[in-house]
Amino acid sequence: MFHTITNRYVVIELKTKKLTPADVGQLNFYVAVVDDKLRQAHHKETVGLLLCSDKNEQTVRYSLGRSTSPMAVSGMTYGELPEEEKQTLPAEHQLIEIVTKTLEQRNVP
């Protein structure tokens, strides 16, 4: 999605399982593709947001440790994100709307 207020692409990935390092690598791949194919010089840096049903803090720390792209991993709780990450993302109600529509389209309970 493109967030017009912050002038950047936001790549959102939903996982209905516990986070794995491969999930973070996959999100990093998607962010790289968006940067290569869609992002223009006047756009701010693309942000990746991975929403998962469960996460291990150590897995998150190690998985994001060497990432050069701004990414956030959340257990689907917007309020737990650091303030810095919230400022680069759409508002909570926008994310909830997107997630809800996506899950409904995929018939995920």
Q: Which residue has the higher pLDDT, 1 or 79?
A: 1
CATH number at residue 30: 3.40.1350
Looking at residue 108, its amino acid is V
Looking at residue 51, its amino acid is L
Of 9, 29, 15, 5, nearest in space to 73 by CA: 15
pLDDT digits (tens, 9 = 90+) for 29-85: 999 999 999 999 999 989 888 777 665 666 666 566 666 665 555 554 667 667 777
Encoded tokens for 4:
């017009």
Given a cut of 90, whether residue 86 has pLDDT beyond it is: no
Given a cut of 60, whether residue 12 has pLDDT beyond it is: yes
Q: How many domains does the chain have?
A: 1
Which domain does 79 fall in, by range? 2-105
Alpha carbon distance 15, 25 (integer Å): 13
State residue 37's pLDDT score: 96
Alpha carbon 12 to chain centroid, angstroms: 4
State residue 14's pLDDT score: 80
pTM of the model: 0.61
State residue 21's pLDDT score: 81
State residue 104's pLDDT score: 80
